[in-house]
Amino acid sequence: MASRLILRIQERSARLTASEKKIAQILLQNQSLIETHTATELAALAGVSKATTARFFRSLGYADFEEVRLQAREERNRREPYVGPESGYEPATLGRTISDHLDLELHNMTRTFEEMRSDLLPEVATMLTTAPRVWFLGFGDEAGVAAVGCSVFSRLRHGVHLLRGAGQSWAAELSMTGPRDVLVLLSFEPRPRVLRPLLAHARTTRMRIVTITDHAYAAQADRFSEVVLPCHVASYGILPTHATMLSVLRLIAVAYLGRNAEAVSQRIATLSAIEEELDLF
């Protein structure tokens, strides 16, 4: 059974540089090198620099080499000495069993929340409390997650909007943003070119940016964000996972609710009264 590292290499092989492909090749031939060699030794075996090796693992979505080694050890510990042959009766999805899928999603969430700094959630909750308006932005699949975030927070407070460039009119929406507004950016690969000028405009207007992203982008996001919440997003096959991102959004909502319980209760009561009046449900 291929390890998560090997699956990531296979998924991203087309985007690797020539030097990175040298590292990939030796790992595809012998993945146990992760546990028996240091990053410097791997670089020497591949005939590349240590910096290239570090960049290679970051491009695969890892924070550093130690994260790769820890994952390899965890996978080995799950296989040995108790693992038996895979059951032929368990339904498979994208070539993986349901238990494989569950293990990986739980691993992603566990690592994400274990590594999250405890002071960040109160900080984000304070930012959202004091913001005149809150904007959610995502592209591709993350546009759907941004819509979920907008829907959830619209029930908690007023002035929550989805930034989407409706009708290709980014200017109309951006004209409504202002100082101390909070932009919640939800971003996985691939990232469109329009993201860079949008972030530049956000900084110009003194918006405060909270970015929920993968580890590979965390360092870059830290340059323009007030808070970065990295997610572990390892996945099988070609389909990305958004389970961790959605869970982080919900955790932020819970933190906001804990800080603004009375105001949230009043807003929910107001919304419920309007819904009842309109006979929506």
Number of C-beta neighbours around residue 202 at 10 A: 22
Predicted confidence band of residue 99 (pLDDT cuts 50, 70, 90): confident
Lowest mean pLDDT across 17-21, 167-171, 188-192, 275-279: 167-171
More confident residue, 253 or 279: 253
**Mean pLDDT for the chain?**
86
* The pLDDT of residue 246 is above 60: yes
- Overall average pLDDT of the 114-127 stretch: 91
Read off the pLDDT of residues 184-226 as tens digits, 9 standing for 90 and up: 999 998 888 899 999 999 999 999 999 999 988 888 999 999 9
Lowest mean pLDDT across 185-194, 228-237, 265-274: 228-237
Q: Any idea which architecture 115-278 has in CATH?
A: 3-Layer(aba) Sandwich (3.40)
Read off the pLDDT of residues 144-176 as tens digits, 9 standing for 90 and up: 999 999 999 999 999 999 998 765 688 889 999
Report the pLDDT value the prediction gives residue 123, as an integer from 0 to 100. 95
Q: What is the C-alpha to C-alpha distance for residues 36 and 33, in angstroms, rounded to an integer?
A: 5
Which of 61, 54, 114, 106 lies closest to 234 in space, CA to CA?
Answer: 61
Report the pLDDT value the prediction gives residue 281, as an integer from 0 to 100. 60
Report the pLDDT value the prediction gives residue 221, as an integer from 0 to 100. 92
Q: What are the residue ranges spanned by the domains of the chain?
A: 4-84, 115-278
Angle between helices 50-59 and 18-29 (to 10 degrees): 80
* The pLDDT of residue 110 is above 50: yes
Please check whether residue 125 is in contact with residue 256, taking contact to mean a CB–CB distance below 8 angstroms.
yes
Global pTM value: 0.67
CATH class for the domain made up of 4-84: mainly alpha
- Overall average pLDDT of the 59-82 stretch: 74
Q: How far is CA 198 from CA 31, 42, 114, 137, 204, in A?
A: 41, 39, 32, 10, 10
Report the pLDDT value the prediction gives residue 85, as an integer from 0 to 100. 37
Report the pLDDT value the prediction gives residue 230, as an integer from 0 to 100. 93
